[in-house]
Amino acid sequence: MTSGLKRRELLQTGAAILGGVLLPASLAVGSARAQGNGAHEFMVKDIVYQRAGGKQRLARLYQPAGTGPFPAVLQVHGGAWNNKNRTDGQNAALDLAAAGIVVLAIDFRNAPEAPYPASLQDINYGIRWLKAHAGEFGSSAGQVGAYGTSSGGHQILLAAIRPDDPRYRALPLTEAPEVDAKLAFVVSGWGVLFPLERYKLAKAKGNEDLAKDHDRFFGSEDAQIEATPALIIERGEKVYLPPALVFQGTKDQWTTVELAERFAADYRKAGGSLDLLLLDGARHTFLNEHPFDPNSVQALNTMIAFIKQHGTERRAQQ
């Protein structure tokens, strides 16, 4: 173990961390510094969380030092449903861990490997796996929530509102078959809340690569409609609505403020609690690309407070 690893070196590496690395809380950008106290050292290591189909899938664990109890977050990366892996958004994971929050950032099947709903199967499995193993990381099943960004922000909302969908729950968790995929809370950062609207916008802008990403993942416009969280609620489907935080910039290129407000209104009308944070002038991926920006610090601190409010041990026991 070492405390000498620099933050930039960790963010740049995509290789597996084969052994645990104990990191000082000073590596965190926004949370500990902005909040002023309560910073935790934390361990970072890669672990295998899934072996379905004879293939191992890795997750990067960020575990605060101490016994907890800590809230826990399954982190779902972006990448237009086709790209990136568990290392995406490491800056936020580092800050959450420094604030005393367990983070499990998972790899899952992207569209080139398998289209929708394969990724949702991996995400649903990942939620159940983290709930089953939360005690090993100083947390508990009732304290497990999730955080996703961009396409991951879309997918984690789908996973949250459809925890019992048989398509999503297709992968058995043999060591704990009784564990469900219901979350204590969910956070979506600059999520693609209305995929078909972004698809149309990408085509209108001549961004054929992005449009093809939609095609590879969803296969059809009908599938994009079927998998739109707001439309699921508007259709009156049976949904589970954990406390939600949705944040994005007012200048997001792919989801308008009006669409974000529409989703928030739908969620609340259906009986859910949702906090909507709109950050003035921020664009898509702002927190990942500009972690020192005031909007990013505000988003991060809002997320930490939200997670600690809804991921407490007291709430888990209720």
Alpha-carbon gap, residue 117 to 98, rounded angstroms: 33
Q: Is the pLDDT of residue 16 over 60?
A: no
Please, which pLDDT band fits residue 306 given cuts at 50, 70 and 90? very high
Judging by beta carbons within 10 Å of its beta carbon (0-12, 13-18, 19+), is residue 62 exposed, middle or buried?
buried
Distance of CA 155 to the CA centre of its chain: 8
Calculate the alpha carbon distances from 229 to 154, 198, 215 in Å.
8, 14, 18
Please state the rounded mean pLDDT for residues 278-282: 98
**pLDDT class for 7, splitting at 50, 70, 90?**
low
The pLDDT, as a whole number, for residue 27 is 55
The residue ranges of every structural domain in the chain are 7-317
Q: What's the average model confidence in pLDDT over 58-81? A: 96
Indicate whether this model's pTM tops 0.85: yes
**Once rounded to an integer, what is the mean pLDDT over residues 305-317?**
82
Question: Residue 21 pairs with which residues in a beta bridge?
Answer: 44
For residues 154-163, average pLDDT: 98
Distance (Å, whole) CA 162 – CA 160: 6
Q: For all residues of the chain together, what is the average pLDDT?
A: 90
Reduced 3-state DSSP string for the chain = CCCCCCHHHHHHCCCCCCCCEEECHHHCCCHHHHHCCCCCCEEEEEEEEECHHHCCEEEEEEEECCCCCCCEEEEECCCCCCCCCCCCCHHHHHHHHHCCCEEEEECCCCCCCCCCCHHHHHHHHHHHHHHHHHHHHCCCHHHEEEEEECHHHHHHHHHHHCCCCCCCCCCCCCCCCCCCCCCCCEEEECCCCCHHHHHHHHHHCCCHHHHHHHHHHHCCHHHHHHCCHHHHHHCCCCCCCCCEEEEEECCCCCCCHHHHHHHHHHHHHCCCCEEEEEECCCCCCHHHHCCCCHHHHHHHHHHHHHHHHHCCHHHHHC
pLDDT digits (tens, 9 = 90+) for 190-227: 999 999 999 999 999 999 999 999 999 999 999 999 99
Say if CB 103 and CB 144 are below 8 A apart. Answer: no
pLDDT at 14: 42
Mean pLDDT of 280-299: 97
Query: Is the per-residue pLDDT at 318 higher than 70?
Result: no
Q: Sorting pLDDT into bands at 50, 70 and 90, what band is 33?
A: very low
The pLDDT of residue 2 is: 32
Task: Note whether 191 and 148 are within 8 A (CB).
Answer: yes
Mean of the pLDDT values across residues 235-246?
98
How far CA 93 is from CA of 46, 69, 98, 102, in Å, comes to: 13, 18, 9, 9
Query: What's the pLDDT at 21?
Result: 61
Q: Which pLDDT score, from 0 to 100, does residue 30 have? A: 46
Strand order in the sheet with 244-249: 21-23, 42-50, 57-64, 102-106, 72-76, 144-149, 186-189, 244-249, 274-279
Residue 110 has pLDDT above 70, yes or no: yes
Residue partners of 283: CB distance under 8 A and separation at least 6: 249, 251, 252, 253
In the chain, % of residues over pLDDT 70:
86
- In this predicted structure, which of 34-48, 170-184, 254-268 has the lowest mean pLDDT? 34-48
Question: What is the mean predicted confidence (pLDDT) over 230-254?
Answer: 98
Q: What is the CATH number of domain 7-317?
A: 3.40.50.1820
Residue 101 reports pLDDT greater than 80 = yes
